[in-house]
Structure 1
Amino acid sequence: MTEDKIITIDQLIQKILEGEKQYDLSKIVAAYEVANKYHQGQKRESGQPYITHPIAVAYILLELGMDTDTICAALLHDVVEDTDCTLEILQKRFGNDVAMLVNGVTKLKKVETFTKDEQKAENIRKILLAMSEDIRVIIIKLADRLHNMRTLNYCRDEKRRNIAHETMNIYAPIAHRLGIRSIKDELEDLSFMYLDPYAYNEIEKQMNMRKGSRDQLVEELMARIKERLAKDITPVPVIEGRVKSNYGIYKKVYRDGKEIDQIYDRYALRIIVNTVTECYNVLGIIHDMFRPIPNRFKDYISTPKANMYQSLHTTVIGREGVPFEVQIRTWDMHKTAEYGIAAHWKYKEGVNGGNTKDDRRLAWIRQIIESQQESDDVEEIVRAIKNDLAPEDVFAFTPKGDMITLPVGATVIDFAYAIHTEVGHKMCGAKVDKKMVSYDYEIKTGEIIEILTSNVPGHGPSRSWLNICKTNEAKSKIRLWFKRERREENIFEGRNALEREFRRNMIRVPEDDLEEFLKADMRRHNCDTLDDFFAAIGYGGVQLSKAISRLKTEYNKKYGEKHVDSTAEKEAKKSSGNTSGIIVDGVQDCAVRFAQCCNPLPGDDIVGFITKGHGVSIHRKDCVNYLSQKDDPELKDRWVSAKYEGSNKKSGYFKTTLDIIAVDRIGLLADVSSALAMINIYIYESTARELKNGNAILSITVSIAGMEQLNNVITKLKKIKNVISVERSGR
């Protein structure tokens, strides 16, 4: 099916009649008539009647061998979203299954409280939820996206790139995970063509230059292998030639820095036999005929990929000196490789509920849904999908020989949580091939990994693991543990984090008004009380970096810009205010104040803000307030360059607060005080709070001369026994 070819309903019906599979033709024709009626008068961006799109989607699904209800749903998939047709009408006319499938692929209507990104996140989440109930939803969506990509040239440039980017990041990885190779390859190639047209055309040109010699080489190899196999195997296996996709070549040429002639599997032969035993017999014959390249053999029969793909892969060199790949598989493996989970409908009649392989294919969908149910950040959801659906996997083993499949880059923490949630929670170390490794060790295929656990009461994961582990499943389980087991600590952490963000953005909401001010965000994240909201921030359920811009806008609306400006002046007035060591716009003797929203220290890159009657307020250059206001036409001229004098600056000391989390014990506070006294650091004030999990949080305000001394203090404190983390407050 070419990019511009229009499929008619007559061609769709002819395709159905020519196939071996039985369809309810009258139901399909009725679905077409309803779709044609509701789409009457609608046009695509190409100018073609809109009905050509659902017919094309149905044709793609027919080629995959999908069932009658799926074909009907494809014909009707846009009527609820784009016309006044309702799900009730479809349910009454075509039954529950068709209505459910159409609902699954129908985008949510615009909700007033949603931003554009939140709307996109909800639509992705809805698709995942629907496909976890019935995998046919995503197969329809993939066919829909494939036809849209084939006709994407009619859209404007910006829209083309956005759709291509979404396709590459979400739909192609899902097609890969479901094992539908034909759709995955075409989606990647079409996306690649719009995202990097120069590279695409260059590869196309290079491959066309080699086309004649390539076709001749493949034909000669196929003939030689077929002649040899005919002597040993009856019936003679089927042999096919294959050329690697443009995007597959691009990844190896541009990502790995290889020349096209260095890509061993750009030419490939596929040999299809009847039994697994014949697969290994053919492998022996191929290795006898050609010289195998070391470390280029992969046995995906004994260790299938996560999408259930099975095959033997070996790369060999013929007499011509050209390397080529040989894939050897049975017919059942071939069906799974080509059609993935869609082979369930293509080669079996009826619904095979409870199929173990299908259940395993769908498990990752539920994991993504569970981990992203509280997130309204579309980038986070896309990142989770990309991580969990990574095309490349590693295979490692437990000491008992159980195989665990994880994405490339996964760590021993991911491995522990893949075994069992409790194994991850109780993990206290790991051995790889009997050698101790750190938590950030990245797993490699074939390694034997032993997870060491602790049964000490209260033992659990560290928050730092969230920055180490790779898989969304592990991150979700760690967050859930902190949500359930460390509520008091989460509330404390969340409140501190919110206060720090408020200081950085000059947001000063009276304590009595705080709950009302945060009410909309609390409702958005299903939090009934302020403590629930603080706890959600503490365990990572609320992304402050995303919420703060919305809160700042709300603050400006409620309290007004004058309040914000006076707050900045008050903060500057409170900070230590002398002119020592600061050069403002080339002038040394300006009256300056240090803004508490970002707490600048000597050594920080700084900038000045000319206040109304209170001198110059000094901010860090990474201060959110500066970054958000520096291009404001009304404030732009009030920002001036500033810097420390350097070696000629006079000594000065500044107040800085440090937050210390440690395992609580007798003498902890004394050790902290002693450590600071030994390096002559003055303590202005300190507070400590014991937590029910055995940890303690200490906040100490100290006198610091600059960044170098601050880093030395933090390093010193981290060396104290049982200290878990030390962070500068207000960063």
Structure 2
Amino acid sequence: MYTIEDLALTLSKYLPYDEVAKVKRAYYFAEQAHDGQRRKSGEPYVTHPLAVAEILSILRMDCDGLAAALLHDVIEDTGISRDALTKQFGENVAGLVDGVSKLTHLEFNSQIEKQAHNFQKMAMAMADDIRVILVKLADRLHNMRTLDAMPANKKRRIARETLDIYAPIANRLGMYNVRVELESLAFQAYYPMRARMLHKAILKKYGQQRAKDIEKLEDAIRAELAADYIEAGISVREKHIYSIYQKMDKKRRSLDEIMDVMGVRIVTDRHDSCYRILGVIHSIFKPIEGRFKDYIAVPKSNGYQSLHTTVVGSNGIPMEVQIRTQEMDLVADNGIAAHWAYKAKGTSKTPSNHDRATKWVKSLLDMQQKARNPMEFVDNVKSDLFPDEVYVFTPTGQIVELPSGATPVDFAYGVHTEIGNSCISCRINRRLAPLSTQLESGQTVEIITAKNAQPNVAWLSFAITGKARTNIRHYLKDKQRENAISIGHRLLTRSLNAFKVNIGELTEAQISQVLINHNLDSLDDLLESIGKGRHVGYLVARELFPNYDEENLVTPQSFKVNGSEGMLLSYAKCCSPIPGDPIVGHVQVEKGIVIHHLNCPNVQDHLSSPERFIRMSWGKEIEEELHLSLIVTYINERGAVAKIASSISDTDFQVSNLEIIERGRISRLRLNITISSRIGLADAMRRIKAVRCVEKVSRETVIAR
């Protein structure tokens, strides 16, 4: 049975005597606090925090982190206060214990909203001190090792949240050993039958003569390296079972189709030896094309560095070979936890993966602050937890790492938020390309910006990184409020004109009373609410002047559409009004003003709320891209549709869709186009009418109810 003396012996190899003594004192404090408490397995409860500290000692965690590991359940389960811990062990340890305590009862498989709140809590705890999540990961790992004591339904829930949250976080922090064990244990608990069947299949396929083959392979590689005077450690292993299962599941492949089930790791002492070893391996075994990756020149986001190549072994079975230095190997196995190993050795060099992990955690906090709600935060962070990276270059040669499927918009925000916000187009390998293009490793991406540009809501349909999606939504949210306040100001001003008053002449008492009535904090909040259609300008004006004589009211002026109102002014799709049409505005909650053709039959649906209608007119200088449909009646002869489409193909009109709605000798089609004025519409109709087979062109102004 593992004891505190065993732990102390391990710690004495890298911690000074006084720090080992502090860890032992934390253990005895925890032992006394948990006295009488037992785990589900029947063991004394203190065996759990001791096991957690043992896991962290292998990662060479520092003194305060180990003390927090031993005390991590004290606040939650024994009633001992944070102040008492501060008095005994200092604020640093007490803060870590408090941070871990807040994460103790996360239940990620409960209601979605609760899951989102809990994940937010975890991100904030990580941002305060990243050791909090390391203690939590070690806590989860020991719980997974002792999961058999739990009832079946609880085992499945814990296994599922381990696969969904904890293993991906361990991966993101570069903690390979912890991630692999978490995944393997969770897979066996959540899919016990699949795990057993896959294990048997692997054993059957690769098990015979496996030990001899592995020994033979190691000897062959060692002999070739020795011939080139290269010193290196060699280990041959089988990929862990959950990794093989994931490949089979995601790619819909059988075990026979999965490559690199066997893996070879070669660890050397020098950076340049890695590339020499690669040459030796490729001289012994045939490399498989397209399966080489240089993570030394371009490290992964979690700091991982290694050369990867897949070759065909002597038995004809593909195997992956990983080549790296001892330093890279330490980082590969322990990730951010390697930081404390470096500190323990007294080296001044801080591994870059610690900085990367800290930067990632800070980016989580930034996302959390900008997200509108916990659900949006979780949605945005998923892509950062499950990255398959692509590596692209800036025009100056700087490497930018992005998740697979990322677009130039993600790239722009990855470089800088302001570049993303002012992006208008891009060049990929010096050629203009759509912003929705999925990027591939090795491409050079140049973002073209404009001073007055702004994010487009359509970007949310293809931007995938959390940073891009969060910043787009944040900008649009701020812009929407700005637009809403502007429209609300115009609507209230228009309504107050009927009372022969303007907003500047309102008294503080009048405004305060209306704000109290609607539980709002400021005049801007009121104007925003009017702009978004939650409150009606005319009714607010009546509240401001409750005793005003109706007979003295002046007919309000029409609301002029000038094209700069933003996203809270839109055009009804049922009638597609364009500049020059008689129009009317309908104020809808959260949509702002929706403009209809005055004769649109759908307007009649809203006559029960006449106060929500606004007299509208077009501004003189309006230049707005508007969508409408034309109905073309034509003689159905050979090539007729192509002639109609080409009649306006060389103009500025954009055709978004062409649909044949009636077939016969005389046929009809609907042509959806984008124009900016009645003059443009007349020109488009004239060009189409000039086609010899066209009988009639008419605008589809309204759609009957």
CA contact (8 A) 1:390 1:408 kept: no
Matched, 1:465 2:459: yes
Alignment partner of 1:332 out of 310, 327, 334: 327
Question: Would the alpha carbon gap of residues 383 and 216 (structure 1) be closer, same or farther in structure 2, given more than 3 Å must change?
Answer: farther
Query: Which AA in structure 1 matches 2:460?
Result: L
Q: Secondary structure at the match of 2:289?
A: strand
CA contact (8 A) 2:307 2:322 kept: yes
Task: After TM superposition, give the deviation of residue 461 of structure 1 in Å.
Answer: 0.6
Q: Measure how far apart 1:129 and its partner are.
A: 2.2
Do the aligned residues in 2 keep the contact of 1:660 with 1:697 (CA within 8 Å)?
Answer: no
Find the counterpart in structure 1 of residue 409 from structure 2. Answer: 413
Out of 192, 198, 202, the position equivalent to 1:197 is: 192
**What secondary structure is seen at the aligned counterpart in 1 of 2:360?**
helix
Secondary structure of the corresponding residue to residue 46 of structure 1: coil
> Could you tell me which residue of structure 2 aligns to residue 649 of structure 1?
none
Contact 2:336/2:353, CA 8 A, preserved across alignment: no
CA distance in 2, matches of 1:348, 1:447: 38
Out of 169, 172, 177, the position equivalent to 2:167 is: 172
Query: Is 1:77 aligned with 2:72?
Result: yes
1:435 Cα deviation (Å)? 3.2
CA shift in 2, pair 1:180/1:690, >3 Å:
farther
RMSD: 4.3
Mapped pair 1:56 → 2:51: yes
The question of whether the paired residues in 2 share the 8 Å contact of 1:110 and 1:119 is answered with no
What is the CA–CA distance in structure 2 between the aligned matches of 1:532 and 1:107, rounded to whole Å? 37
Q: Does 1:99 align with 2:83?
A: no
Q: Name the counterpart of 1:363.
A: 359
Report how far residue 367 of structure 1 moved: 1.7
Does 2:369 correspond to 1:373?
yes
Measure the CA separation in 2 of the matches of 1:57 and 1:134. Answer: 18
Q: What is the rounded CA distance, in whole Å, between the counterparts of 2:8 and 2:476 in structure 1?
A: 56
Distance 1:80 1:190 in 2: 28
Aligned to 2:674: 719
Shift of 1:108: 7.1
**Cα displacement (A) at 1:449:** 1.5
The answer to whether the aligner puts 1:440 opposite 2:436 as a matched pair is yes
Match of 2:291, SS state, is strand
Instruction: Show the counterpart of 1:154.
Output: 149
Find the structure with the greater CA-based Rg: 2
Q: Is the 8 A contact 1:117 1:378 kept in 2?
A: no
Structure 2 match to 1:46:
41
Residue 452 of structure 1 corresponds to 448
Whole-angstrom distance in 2 between the partners of 1:143 and 1:248: 21
Residues 374 and 447 (structure 1), Cα distance of their counterparts in 2 relative to 1, 3 Å cut:
closer
Name the structure 1 match of 2:474: 480
- Aligned equivalents of 1:315, 1:299: Cα separation in 2: 12
Change (3 A) 1:289 1:688: farther
State whether structure 2 residue 219 is matched by structure 1 residue 264. no
2:139 aligned residue (139, 144, 149):
144
The number of aligned residues is 557
What SS does the corresponding residue of 1:441 show, helix, strand or coil? coil
State the identity as a percent.
38
Equivalent residues of 1:170, 1:382 under 8 A apart: no
1:219 aligned partner: 215
CA distance, structure 2, for counterparts of residue 468 and residue 444 of structure 1: 15
Structure 2 counterpart of 1:231, which letter?
A
Distance in 2 (alpha carbons) for counterparts of 1:287 and 1:119: 52
Aligned to 1:430: 426
1:247-285 per-residue CA deviation (whole Å, 9 max, x = no partner) reads 110111121122223322211111111111111111111
Q: CA deviation at 1:460?
A: 0.3
Q: Return the letter of the residue paired with 1:130.
A: A
| 2:39 alignment partner, SS class | coil
- Correspondence for 2:129: 134
- Which letter does structure 2 place at the counterpart of 1:156? P
Q: CA deviation at 1:513?
A: 13
The amino acid of 1:292's aligned partner reads P
Q: State the one-letter code of the partner of 2:580.
A: A
In structure 2, distance between residues paired with 1:131 and 1:148: 20
Q: Distance in 1 between matches of 2:22 and 2:617?
A: 69
Matched, 1:396 2:374: no
Q: Please state whether the residue corresponding to 1:131 is helix, strand or coil.
A: helix
- 1:70–1:136 Cα contact (<8 Å) kept: yes
Q: Over residues 656-695 of structure 1, what are the superposed CA-to-partner deviations in whole Å (9 max), with x where a residue is unaligned?
A: xx97269xxxx9542696999899977657766999xx99
- In structure 1, what is the Cα distance between the partners aligned to 2:341 and 2:38? 32
User: Deviation of residue 138 (structure 1)?
Assistant: 1.1
AA aligned opposite 1:360 = R
* Equivalent residues in 2 for 1:544-559, closer than 5 Å: none
Unaligned ranges ≥5, structure 2? 489-511, 535-567, 585-594, 605-612, 629-656, 662-669, 679-701
8 Å CA contact retained: 1:179, 1:307:
yes
The 1-side partners of 2:27 and 2:343 are apart by 25
- Residues 158 and 441 (structure 1), Cα distance of their counterparts in 2 relative to 1, 3 Å cut: farther
Distance in 2, matches of 1:109 and 1:249, equals 31
Q: How big is the shift at 1:42? A: 1.8
